Chain A
Amino acid sequence: MSIVTVQLGQCGNQIGFEVFDALLSDSHSSQGLCCKRENEAYQASCKERFFSEEENGVPIARAVLVDMEPKVINQTLSKAAQSGRWKYGQHACFCQKQGSGNNWAYGYSVHGPRHEESIMNLIRKEVEKCDSVSGFFIIMSMAGGTGSGIGAFVTQNLQDQYSNSLKMNQIIWPYGTGEVIVQNYNSILTLSHLYRSSDALLVHENDAVHKICAKLMNIKQISFSDINQVLAHQLGSVFQPTYSAESSFHYRRNPLGIDWHVRPPLSGPPSLSKMSLNKDLHFNTSIANLVILRGKDVQSADVEGFKDPALYTSWLPVNAFNVWKTQRAFSKYEKSAVLVSNSQFLVKPLDMIVGKAWNMFASKAYIHQYTKFGIEEEDFLDSFTSLEQVVASYCNL
């Protein structure tokens, strides 16, 4: 079962490159800590999901690259080709020369419809190359204009044309003190549109990943490349093949087995440490949690702490907690663990963004740039309403 990735905008394309690179280098890593047969099954599974084969054996990423400026795409394509181990398809990218000016409305209402046919054609070609598509993985940022606006537009199109496929959007949450002035507008418009048409939103906060780089990895001058690599590492350890509880004889066929809005909090690379449960009254209530364990001693790992019913909502009849395991180590780490959580972690950052956007909206700042391209005040109000509803439902878990 294959995943087709759609990389949108500067952020999406840079991250996409890092993700494919991380996946392939892990797949080829020699320190898998498992037997040869296991390793071969792992490699075959990873390859089938994310890459297609060409005659000369170089895997081609199952990806479509979209940007409104040519610079980043060209960089991405050449970096991939230079590695020699994998590359992007020759005709898998679409770019223009204009850019979107960090304007969500421009991306959504102008670029989107104008280039709809070309972009959807590219996606369709990728889909036809797969024997079976388990879903789409769309990488985009919220704050800019291209990734966010065109991303929302493309996701909606995918919902219409491939209504039976799963879609997971990887969203980059901008820095709190980001440089794009209208990033909050772009964010709320993106989130409210995606909430309607996507199946899962996987959120990475720039601030959080920045902290990982600074505190856990002690990098002095943190560049976007460092951040992207950490991100890719996290995503890779989610997407690489695993066994789930039901089928312990072959790798899970559908990697996108996540159907809720998820957001991974910090997950450290080193060995699995015991979760120190906060005995406060204010638990961070989760709807569902997924733990993925890789490496040594996975069979004996103790995950009972995750099953505490106090962590979960009261209206679910049974704990929505899943564990996926594999002995095959990820990216040379002897042991690694990832937690993907659908919980109230999301509430505070979301509330903050909605609050800031509302303040700007109340004074009508920069609204004309959006109404110029067809996004009216009613659309803003609709977005606020949906997001308030999301915040309210999560608060009342």
Chain B
Amino acid sequence: MRRRRVDPAAGARAGALPEAIAALSRSLPSGPRPEIFRRAKFDRPEATSALWQLLFRVLSPLPAGNALASIALEVQARLVKSALCSQGYPRLALAQLPEDGSQGSRELLLALSWLLARGPVPEQMLAQTRVPLGDEMTVCQCEALASLVPPAPHMEAEGPVDVRHVQWLMGKLRFRWRQLVSSQQEQCALLSKIHLYTRGCHSDQNLGHLSVTEAEMLRDPEGGQKVSGAGAAQNLDLAYPKGLHFCTPGMGPRTFWNDLWLVPRLLPGDWAAPLDPGGASACSLLSPLRVLLRTLERESRRLEAVLAWRRAEPVFWQWMDTVLGTCAPEAPAAASQPTFLPWVPECGDGELELVVRELQTLEEELREAVERRRVAWEAKARGCGRGPEWSAARRASRETVEKELGALQRCWEQESGPAPAHGPHRLVRREDGAAGDRDLRAAELIRTLRSQEACLEAVLRQLQGQCRQELARLAGALPGLIWILPPGR
């Protein structure tokens, strides 16, 4: 690990180090007490589990939540090791640490500082847990792809699967899908209404209108309203803030406020829950406004901590140099080490020999089988002849494949232009042509999505055609049998 160059004059005053460590600890989510860092320098065992958990929190792709707290320490440790290894962490000693949290705090501290040196970790953590005040949606497919669970291992059914059951499941799936679509349409309609009605109400001229969160705060800061209908009308005067005006005459405010209570129930995720664990249950009894304020305050404190950390950073690196100094020198073979090996269960030497021999025989058998297959194929291929028709056919099929591939690629990348940024974007309703340069226009995004949809539909139709041909072939193969296909949709 190379040493980071630091300015020796910076932070030389006494007390600068505790402040720096304290700032670092405050700027990280579930940051441990500064005492832990000091103990880790001296490789004290009691500091180990806190550091495992911090590393896990930093490296895990999941957002914070109560689910994280329930993961066992061993599991967290193993995940940290593999994540660090896949990022190229050079020190072997970490990979060899026991996973029960009994030792190794100094190694963990070194790992943490390695991560801090590579990238803006506190800022990234902050971005993960920021409070969304606007109505947001994501444009890229990253989240959807990341949340794809690998397919369940193929399980043999006990007996033949009843096709009626499969049909029933398909029907249920289709039904749920349609419910989802209509809920989304409802959400869009209501969002549009809110954005339209609150035009001119936002203090930020760039945004111009309120988001759902902001409108809900204005309407019902105390969170007392739960039922729509007659109830809302009574509180209308109280909730009607000065300066809030409705820009579309004729559309009564009553339906607007009535509808508003529906929307937070529709929005994905619960913004009202504080985003750091440990505060969730206590806040559920507070009014939404207070919850929001608390969350914003917490975020502000983290931001201030990050700023303080950046100012005090050089002191920290000086100190880390001393930590590195107390370690035993590492063997320089780090570069040539293979990647983190999977954990092999301990077995006796005898068993290992047996396994090795079995694998070798298997390899032999497979090699022979491959040879046989290859010989047979070559004989067949030679039988087709290397004549002009064969090469012409080959050329034709290669051309079709290239054409298809090219068409697919073109249509996929067609109107994407600069790739839209990752992460969530705030929805803002504007007049035509008023969008800024860095803003994403809905029309363009829609166009891109439409062309992608057309591509996928073409592929679907082709696959369906292939299925139909296959079915027809199967039907034709059994003479005297009449196939009546189910009424299709």
Contact residues of A with B, CB < 8 Å?
1, 37, 40-41, 43-44, 53, 131-135, 159, 164-166, 192, 195-197, 199, 254, 259-260, 287, 313, 315-317, 385-386, 389, 393
Quote the shortest CB–CB distance from B224 to chain A (angstroms). Answer: 13
In Å, the complex CA distance between A70 and B162 comes to: 51
- Residues A133 and B489 in contact in the complex (CB < 8 Å), given A40-B231, A259-B171, A315-B162: no
Other A-B pairs beyond A131-B189, A164-B178, A164-B185, 7, CB < 8 Å: A40-B229, A53-B255, A131-B190, A132-B183, A196-B488, A199-B175, A389-B486
Q: Tell me whether A132 and B185 are in contact in the complex, defined as CB-CB below 8 angstroms, given that A196-B489, A316-B165, A386-B487 are known contacts.
A: yes
Residue numbers in A under 8 Å from B178 (CB-CB): 164-166
Question: Shortest Cβ distance from B257 into chain A, in angstroms?
Answer: 13
CB distance from B227 to the nearest CB of A (A): 6
- Whether a CB of chain A sits under 8 angstroms from the CB of B2 is no
Interface-centre pick from B177, B193, B231 (highest chain A CB count, 10 A): B231
Check if A131 sits within 8 Å of B230, measured CB to CB. no
Report Cα–Cα, A2/B181, bound state, in Å. Answer: 14
B177-198: CB near A (< 8 Å → 1, else 0) gives: 1110111011001100100000
The 8 A CB mask of B197-213 against A (1 = contact, 0 = none) is: 00000000000000000
* Contact of A37 (CB < 8 Å), options: B172, B227, B255: B227
In the bound complex, how far is the Cα of B179 from the Cα of A199, in angstroms?
Answer: 13
Residues from chain B with Cβ under 8 Å of A316 in the complex:
165, 168
Inter-chain contact A133/B229, CB cutoff 8 Å: no
In the assembled complex, the Cα of A287 lies from the Cα of B172 at a distance in Å of: 13
User: When the two chains form their complex, are residues B165 and A132 in contact, meaning their CB atoms are under 8 A apart?
Assistant: no
Q: Is B230 touching A1 in the complex (CB atoms < 8 A)?
A: no
Contact status of A133 and B182, CB under 8 A, knowing A196-B487, A196-B489: yes
**Chain B's interface: helix, strand, loop or mixed, by majority?**
helix
Can you list 6 A-B contacts with CB-CB less than 8 angstroms, sorted by A residue number? Answer: A1-B182, A40-B227, A40-B229, A132-B185, A192-B487, A316-B168
Q: How far is the CB of B184 from chain A (nearest CB, A)?
A: 9
Q: Which of A1, A166, A192, A389 meets B186, CB within 8 Å?
A: A1
Tell me whether B487 and A134 are in contact (CB under 8 A).
Answer: no
Q: Which residue of B lies closest to A135 (CB)?
A: B182
- A-contacting residues of B (Cβ < 8 Å)? 162, 164-165, 168, 171-172, 175, 177-179, 181-183, 185-186, 189-190, 193, 227-231, 255, 259, 484, 486-489
A385 and B484 CA atoms in complex are apart in Å by 9
What is the distance, in angstroms, from B153's C-beta to the closest C-beta of chain A? 20
**A259 & B186 in contact (Cβ 8 Å cutoff):** no
Q: Tell me what chain A mostly uses at the interface: helix, strand, loop, or mixed.
A: mixed
- Which residues of chain B have C-beta atoms less than 8 A from A260's C-beta? 171
Give the complex CA separation of A259 and B172 in angstroms.
Answer: 8
CB closest residue in chain A, given B179: A254
| Chain A nearest CB, measured from B138 CB (Å) | 22
User: Contact check: which of A132, A165, A259, A389 meets B189 at CB < 8 Å?
Assistant: A132
How many angstroms from the CA of A41 to the CA of B165 in the assembled complex?
38
Q: A315-B162, A316-B165 are in contact. Are A131 and B259 (CB under 8 A)?
A: yes
**Chain B contacts for A165, CB-based, 8 A:** 178, 182
Bound CA–CA A361/B338 (angstroms): 80
B186 touches A195 (CB 8 A): no
A132 CA to B177 CA, complexed, in Å: 15
Q: Is the CB of B230 within 8 A of A40?
A: yes
- In the bound complex, how far is the Cα of B174 from the Cα of A199, in angstroms? 11
**Chain A hits for B175, CB < 8 A:** 166, 199, 259
Cβ–Cβ < 8 Å partners of B165 in chain A? 315-317
Instruction: Identify the 3 closest CB pairs spanning chains A and B, nearest first.
Output: A132-B186, A44-B229, A315-B162
Most buried by A among B190, B193, B255, B487: B487
Query: In the assembly, what is the distance between CA of A287 and CA of B162, in Å?
Result: 14
Give the docked Cα–Cα distance between A199 and B171 (Å). 10
Roughly how many angstroms separate A131 CA and B488 CA in the complex, as a whole number? Answer: 31
Determine the distance from Cα of A260 to Cα of B228 in the docked complex, in whole angstroms. 32
> Nearest chain A CB to B173's CB is how many angstroms away?
10
A165 to chain B, nearest CB (A): 7
Q: Assess the B182–A132 pair: CB atoms within 8 A.
A: yes
Q: Which residues of A contact B181 (CB under 8 A)?
A: 164
Return chain B residues, CB-CB under 8 Å to A386.
Answer: 487
